[in-house]
Amino acid sequence: MGVSMFAYYLELAFRSLRRSRALTALMILAVALGIGASMTTLTVLHVLSGDPLPERSGSIYMPRMDPRDLSHAEDTKLPVQVTWIDGMRLLKDRRADRQALMVGGTVPVQSDDQAMDPFIEHARYTTADFFPMFAVPFRYGQPWSDAEDESRAHVAVIGADLNDRLFGGTNSVGRTIRANGADLRIIGVLDVWRPVPHFYDIYTGSFSGSEGVFVPLSTARALEMGRDGGISCWGEGSTAENEMERASCTWLQYWVQLDSAAHLEAYRRYLDGYAHEQAALGRFQRPQHPEVIGLLAFLEEQKVVPSDVRLQVWLALGFFVVCLVNTVGLMLAKFMRRAGEVGVRRALGASRRSVFAQLLTEAGLIGVAGGVGGLILAWAGLALVRRQPDAFARLAHLDLAMLVATLLLSVIATLIAGLLPAWRACSITPALQLKSQ
Amino acid sequence: MQILPILAALRRHKAGTILIALQIALTLAIVCNALFIVHERVERANRPTGMNESNLIAVQNRYVGAPSTYLPIIRTDIQAIRAMPGVEDAYVTNTYPLRRGGWSLTARTAPDATKGGAQTALYFGDEHTLKTLGVQLIAGRNFTASEVGSFERQESPSPPQVIVTKTLADKLFPNGDALGKVIYYRGGKPSTIIGIVAKLTVPWIDMDFMDSVTIMPLTFNDGGQSFMIRTKPGQQDAVFKSVPKVLFDVNRMRVLPEKYGIRTFETVRANAYEADRGMAILMSVVCGVLLAITAAGIVGLSSFWVGQRRKQIGVRRALGAKRSDILSYFMTENFLIALAGVVVGTMLALGLSQWMFTHFEMKRLSFTYVMVGVVALLGLGQAAVFAPALRASRVSPVEATRSV
């Protein structure tokens, strides 16, 4: 089919669509509603099931073992956190390319000029490798080093938002921040960093943003900064805050970077050895099957995407199918109404193929219009989603990939919807049509 | 009635017939499941907490700085709140229903038991708690002021006296004789049940022990506290506005978080069930739009059929058919198609419900919803076809003689 032929079909399609405005509007509206609903929900799903570290996720792993005793033995799912004893041991052994131990918390913070009332900020207490391992971008300064971890130095790295709020976005390296009553020297300011989902600690909200203050874990423990997040204990013994370093509780997250399959294999062997050694010592009572799980596999296992979001996607797709069935019906009516015209064209020598192509052009045109309408509706729908209070809601934006996908989906879907009506219309015997007139 | 000729005619419009029936079937399947979800979510968001939720304000407070003890500041704060005009009563606690954060532990009937027992949420409080929350004491007595103690972070909470909910009491003592009995909280000393309240829910909204709660006469020596304030009727707004000033006048070294610092209990409830409400609204909108689209589709295809059969209608009219015969012909035709649609749709709806049951841990669709959906769609079809059918009935017998 040549370009001029296509232009001709397009013109015919326009003319035909104009002839029955109500029907055309109804078809376009149905496609637009279906597309708009589907793309809104799919965009939310797309954002939520994204890769938090697109360039890194392949080499980030979580080592897991089972330090629990035999009570509740029916729960064999490996914990996603570690005890202080195991976390420190793995950290000190340094068997991965990079490793970090961490826990979340909240602290009241104030800037050094103290003019501002204190406010609560989310904090992360971690070790030096956290920043290079997760490729956290810095705007000013740099992360702390192992030496600062060792010496419990009073230093902090702060996030971009907190830097804007406290220091008006200027380079605040060297200034101090008062956190939980202690003065910490700022040594680094992050650029905007928002890993979605918040993979390294799913207990502090899977879609909450990244923290505002980062403090060396050792410093935070020494300064008794408030700790948050999941904690799971067993056996006897105190679970008091100042006993947490000895408690039989998992409450810290531990992540490692392993740059090659060989390193991964070596690390697996090391972890296996460690777990069995602890079992032999009697510290671990359960049969040990430790595991080194990749970041994306971990997110999959933890089902971080809320089930309501998945339900909404299915609902929207069902809705889209009804809209499409509706469009097929209307197109059938529209094309069959023009049986006479088709008969004349066929009798004048138009091949069945060219009639078919022309009718499909008309369907495609509806698809384009429906797609544009769908985009507008999806854009409006996402604006509504962003007004929802859920932590993930304000991440919902249409990106270029989803935009193109929307238009493509709309055109392809309506072309498929047009197949049956177009085929029915062009299989009319020309003679019969002409005779009945 | 002329069903056989209608069926015969429909066979000549297979594609259109199947499309309408299919659309009705899909719409029914989605609409009755969606409405069922709406019903479930609304019911969930209205579950009672066992409290009197009107005229109740919740304040979330965090002290700044690290004093050796928080207890005197807490006491001063709560006295200042109780002294406010318009305040009926108030107390300080770690958490409250629908706050979605709190503590739970296991309570057992023997000190050395390792199995059994019941999971319970912990609320700290004092002799003002029952009155402030408006919960109903059904057995025993309230705490006295002298029984209220303090609790340090490193301790296991286990005061000598506790008040529990009826659900927890019955779980621990199935014979119904819990009052006066001694129970043991994990790692703690013996506690005696001195009172039983009818109902009070845990701070979370999704738990398998929703009504299993213990109130302990303790004040937690910690920087994070919640104040619960019952205001006199009509005074809620005034108290709501003046609470921050009163607290900051007592002591500036505190943070009341911007978002959840001070909330009326209506707001607490709305916040807790925001996601459910959003889902219910979304489902309702989808149902409405789906029904509208299906109706529009029926109007479109029926109009086309009427247009296509003008000549036949004219012939029937010329042969003596009345207007009402034509009208009822199209109405019956639509009814038959819709009937086929709802039969298929009912099966689809039940299948969909089964699928959601396995994939989304939802309850199974109640049959009432399917029946309501069936009636609604049959009615919708009849309403949608009425205008085209009326137009058909107005076709003049003269049409029979016209060539086009």
DSSP B334-400: HHHHHHHHHHHHHHHHHHHHHHHHHHH--PPPPHHHHHHHHHHHHHHHHHHHHHHHHHHHT--GGGG
The answer, for B345 touching chain A at a CB cutoff of 8 Å, is no
The answer to whether residue B267 sits within a structural domain is no
pLDDT at res. A215: 95
The answer to whether residue B236 sits within a structural domain is yes
User: For chain A, how many structural domains are there in total?
Assistant: 2
Q: What is the pLDDT of residues A134-183, one digit of tens each?
A: 999 999 999 999 999 999 999 999 999 999 988 888 999 999 998 888 89
CA–CA distance, B27 with B44 (Å, rounded to integer): 25
Q: Which of B217, B252, B287 is the last residue of a domain?
A: B252
Q: Which of A255, A272, A302 is the last residue of a domain?
A: A302
Q: In the predicted model, what is the mean pLDDT of residues A195-202?
A: 86
Q: Which residues of A touch B283 (CB under 8 A)?
A: 315
Mutation target vs A (from B19, B108, B281; most A CBs, 10 A cutoff): B19
User: Going residue by residue through chain B (404 aa), what tens digit of pLDDT does each one get?
Assistant: 578 888 887 887 788 889 999 999 999 999 999 999 899 999 999 999 999 999 999 999 988 877 788 999 999 999 999 999 999 999 999 999 999 888 888 888 888 766 668 889 999 999 999 999 999 999 999 999 999 999 887 777 889 999 999 999 999 999 989 999 999 987 778 999 999 999 999 999 888 889 999 999 999 998 889 999 999 999 999 999 999 999 999 988 888 887 788 999 999 999 899 888 888 988 898 899 999 999 998 998 888 888 888 888 888 888 988 999 999 999 999 999 999 999 999 999 999 999 888 887 778 888 888 999 999 999 999 999 999 999 999 988 887 777 54
Same domain flag for B101 and B231: yes
Give me the residue from A120, A241, A332 closest to B154, CB to CB: A241
Same domain flag for A179 and A318: no
CA–CA distance, A123 with A178 (Å, rounded to integer): 13
Same domain flag for B133 and B225: yes
Residue range of the domain that includes B318: 3-45+275-401
Model-level pTM?
0.79
Same domain flag for B374 and B230: no
Q: Does an H or E element contain A435, and which?
A: helix A430-436
Residue of B nearest to A321 (CA): B26
User: For chain B, how many structural domains are there in total?
Assistant: 2
Same domain flag for A236 and A362: no
Q: In the predicted model, what is the mean pLDDT of residues A382-387?
A: 83
Give me the residues of A, 385-424, that contact B with CB < 8 A.
388-390, 420-421, 424
Residue of B nearest to A34 (CA): B290
The answer to whether residue B130 sits within a structural domain is yes
Q: Is the Cβ pair A23, B19 closer than 8 Å?
A: no
The answer, for A240 touching chain B at a CB cutoff of 8 Å, is yes
Residue of B nearest to A328 (CA): B19
Same domain flag for A161 and A236: yes
- DSSP structural state of residue B145: G
Q: Which residues of B touch A118 (CB under 8 A)?
A: 64, 253, 255
pLDDT at res. B403: 58
The answer to whether residue B266 sits within a structural domain is no
CA atoms within 13 A on the CB side of B204: 13
Same domain flag for A292 and A362: no
Same domain flag for B167 and B118: yes
Give me the residue from B37, B153, B279 closest to A240, CB to CB: B153
Q: Which residues of A touch B102 (CB under 8 A)?
A: none
Same domain flag for B294 and B385: yes
Q: Which of A302, A321, A343 is the last residue of a domain?
A: A302
The CA distances from residue A10 to A16, A357, A434, in Å, are 10, 10, 25
CA–CA distance, B200 with B134 (Å, rounded to integer): 10
Give me the residue from B253, B286, B297 closest to A326, CB to CB: B297
Give me the residues of B, 53-72, that contact A with CB < 8 A.
62, 64-66
Same domain flag for A247 and A158: yes
Same domain flag for A40 and A184: no
User: How close, in Å, is residue A318 to chain B by CA atoms?
Assistant: 7
Give me the residue from A241, A322, A388 closest to B278, CB to CB: A388
Dihedral angle sign, alpha carbons of residues B13, B15, B16, B21: positive
Q: What is the pLDDT of residues A263-289, one digit of tens each?
A: 999 999 999 999 999 999 888 888 889
- DSSP structural state of residue A218: H
The answer, for A310 touching chain B at a CB cutoff of 8 Å, is yes
- Select from A437, A431, A343, A338 the least CA-distant residue to B402: A437
Q: Is the Cβ pair A33, B297 closer than 8 Å?
A: no
Q: Which residues of B touch A316 (CB under 8 A)?
A: 286
Same domain flag for B218 and B346: no
Same domain flag for B24 and B106: no
Same domain flag for A244 and A317: no
Same domain flag for B187 and B108: yes
Same domain flag for A99 and A42: no
Q: Is the Cβ pair A120, B255 closer than 8 Å?
A: yes
Same domain flag for A188 and A278: yes
Q: Is the Cβ pair A238, B297 closer than 8 Å?
A: no
As beta bridge partners, residue B165 has B197
The answer, for A205 touching chain B at a CB cutoff of 8 Å, is no
Same domain flag for A314 and A298: no
Same domain flag for B230 and B330: no
The answer to whether residue B373 sits within a structural domain is yes
- Select from A365, A353, A357 the least CA-distant residue to A327: A365
CA–CA distance, B402 with A267 (Å, rounded to integer): 89
Asked if the ipTM is above 0.85, the reply is no
The answer to whether residue B60 sits within a structural domain is no
Q: Is the Cβ pair A330, B356 closer than 8 Å?
A: no
Residue of B nearest to A182 (CA): B65
Same domain flag for B72 and B186: yes
Same domain flag for A22 and A81: no
Q: Is the Cβ pair B300, A388 closer than 8 Å?
A: no
CA–CA distance, B46 with B273 (Å, rounded to integer): 9
pLDDT at res. B12: 77
Give me the residues of B, 249-268, that contact A with CB < 8 A.
252-253, 255, 257-258
Give me the residues of A, 277-296, that contact B with CB < 8 A.
none
Q: What is the pLDDT of residues A214-255, one digit of tens each?
A: 999 999 999 888 888 878 877 765 666 777 888 888 999 999
User: How close, in Å, is residue B295 to chain A by CA atoms?
Assistant: 10
The answer, for B176 touching chain A at a CB cutoff of 8 Å, is no
Residue of A nearest to B360 (CA): A307
pLDDT at res. A334: 85
Same domain flag for B304 and B220: no
**Residue B104 near residue B121, CB atoms below 8 Å:** yes
Residue range of the domain that includes A355: 3-49+306-436
Same domain flag for B41 and B71: no
User: How close, in Å, is residue B330 to chain A by CA atoms?
Assistant: 17
The answer to whether residue B110 sits within a structural domain is yes
Q: In the predicted model, what is the mean pLDDT of residues A312-339?
A: 88
- Select from A388, A292, A333, A317 the least CA-distant residue to A99: A292
The answer to whether residue B300 sits within a structural domain is yes
The answer, for A308 touching chain B at a CB cutoff of 8 Å, is yes
Q: Which of A280, A302, A324 is the last residue of a domain?
A: A302
Same domain flag for A223 and A363: no
CA–CA distance, B274 with A139 (Å, rounded to integer): 37
Residue of A nearest to B152 (CA): A240
